């Protein structure tokens, strides 16, 4: 009779251990997902980043939006306006001052659909590509700004 109880205790221990291990693995996966989303919320579309992106949008609407749209219609996938000298914007000194004041590392003017940009691994750094994968895009014929800041945060705003 004691042999039967020892076998039962062994099976019971294995079942409980397996159950506890399953619960711990599930909790680890859930906490890992929460932590990843928490980290993204502090890097992607922060309040300061969206405010800065809106300032750039207002500047572009007043100083050459039509020129950028014409340039985009020439079948370009994006226009890098980080260096204001190479862009279609008016008042390049004001543009340079604004980019410096907002601490912008890279700013792109592109269409709402960024799938064509995701294939250009050699042009953009991996963090920038990760942000573009994170963005929700539509197939509409609208335009957007994608901005990378000096502090490794990112923001996007539609026109």
pLDDT tens per residue, range 109-151: 888 777 777 777 677 888 888 888 888 777 667 888 999 999 9
On whether both 73 and 122 belong to a single domain, the answer is yes
pLDDT for res 1: 46
Residues 61 and 131 placed together within one structural domain of the fold? yes
Residue 64 shares a structural domain with residue 136:
yes
Angle at 60 between CA 143 and CA 150, to 5 degrees: 90
Full domain range(s) for residue 120: 47-158
Q: What is the mean pLDDT of residues 17-30?
A: 95
At 6, the pLDDT band (50, 70, 90 cuts) reads low
Q: Are residues 61 and 9 both part of a single domain?
A: no
Same domain, 74 and 3: no
Q: Of all residues in the chain, what percent carry a pLDDT higher than 70? A: 91
Distant-in-sequence, close-in-space partners of 33: CB < 8 Å, separation ≥ 6:
none
**Distance between CA atoms of residues 152 and 99, nearest Å:** 15
The total number of structural domains in the chain stands at 2
Q: Are residues 30 and 68 in the same domain?
A: no
Are 84 and 123 in the same domain?
A: yes
18-40: average pLDDT: 92
Q: What's the mean pLDDT when you consider all of the chain?
A: 84
Cα distances (angstroms) measured from residue 90 to each of 52, 86, 112, 147: 19, 11, 23, 19
Same domain for 31 and 2: yes
**Cα distances (Å, whole numbers) of residue 91 to 2, 84, 110, 132, 145:** 92, 9, 21, 29, 19
Instruction: Tell me, yes or no, whether 85 and 154 share the same domain.
Output: yes
Whether 13 shows a pLDDT value over 80: the answer reads yes
Are 14 and 76 in the same domain?
Answer: no
């Amino acid at each position: 009779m004691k042999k039967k109880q020892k076998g039962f205790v062994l099976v019971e221990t294995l079942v409980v251990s397996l159950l506890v291990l399953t619960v711990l693995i599930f909790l680890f996966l859930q906490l890992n997902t929460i932590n990843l989303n928490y980290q993204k919320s502090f890097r992607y579309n922060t309040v300061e980043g969206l405010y800065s992106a809106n300032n750039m949008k207002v500047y572009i609407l007043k100083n050459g939006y039509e020129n950028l749209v014409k340039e985009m219609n020439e079948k370009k996938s994006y226009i890098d306006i980080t260096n204001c000298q190479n862009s279609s914007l008016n008042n390049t000194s004001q543009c340079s001052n604004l980019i410096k004041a907002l601490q912008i590392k890279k700013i792109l003017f592109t269409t709402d659909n960024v799938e064509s940009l995701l294939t250009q691994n050699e042009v953009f750094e991996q963090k920038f590509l990760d942000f573009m994968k994170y963005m929700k895009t539509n197939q509409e014929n609208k335009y957007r700004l994608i901005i990378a800041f000096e502090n490794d945060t990112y923001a996007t705003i539609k026109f």
